[in-house]
Amino acid sequence: MTGNWLSFSGNAAEANQVMDAYAREMGMDTARFENLRDNFSPVSAIATLLQDAEKHEIVIINEAHHEPRHRVFTRQMLQGLYDRGYRYFGLETLASFGSVDSLMKAGHYPSLKSGYYTRQLDFTARW
């Protein structure tokens, strides 16, 4: 959660440091990913994913909660997915339990104030 809170306050670099330290503690160092670095080359992620989306019925995008750029990336893909016929969008951030969102709890549609991580979108959209 510290990484998330640092990210929300605009300290993305510090959030990454916290999360990297946690990953090392958990034994998830980057050395085991050398194969990716050595055997693959970068491509335009959005163009490639949208091209692949034409062959599938569902697209699932994973994101790190402490990394606002992942939410910006997803937001950048939405129009392209819509143009390819995608009409449903699921979010982990939405919930109808506890005090997370009283409108969602009452069975209404989400609003711009719904969710937890999505509240950062106004901030990250400026990046």
Query: In the predicted model, is pLDDT for residue 126 greater than 90?
Result: no
Q: What pLDDT is stored for residue 85 in this prediction?
A: 96
User: pLDDT over 90 for what percent of the chain?
Assistant: 24
Token pair of 36, please?
């990716």
> Most confidently modeled of 20-24, 32-36, 41-45, 122-126?
41-45
Q: Give, as one character, the DSSP assignment of residue 44.
A: -
Q: What pLDDT is stored for residue 17 in this prediction?
A: 84
* Higher local confidence (pLDDT), 32 or 108: 108
Contacts of 23 (CB under 8 A, 6+ apart): 29
Closest CA to 75 of 27, 120, 26, 37: 120
* Residue 70 near residue 63, CB atoms below 8 Å: yes
pLDDT digits (tens, 9 = 90+) for 25-68: 776 666 556 666 777 788 899 999 999 999 999 999 988 777 77
Instruction: Give the number of C-alpha atoms closer than 13 A to the C-alpha of residue 54, restricted to the C-beta side.
Output: 7
* Secondary element (H or E) of residue 120: none
pLDDT bin (cut points 50, 70, 90) of residue 119 is: low
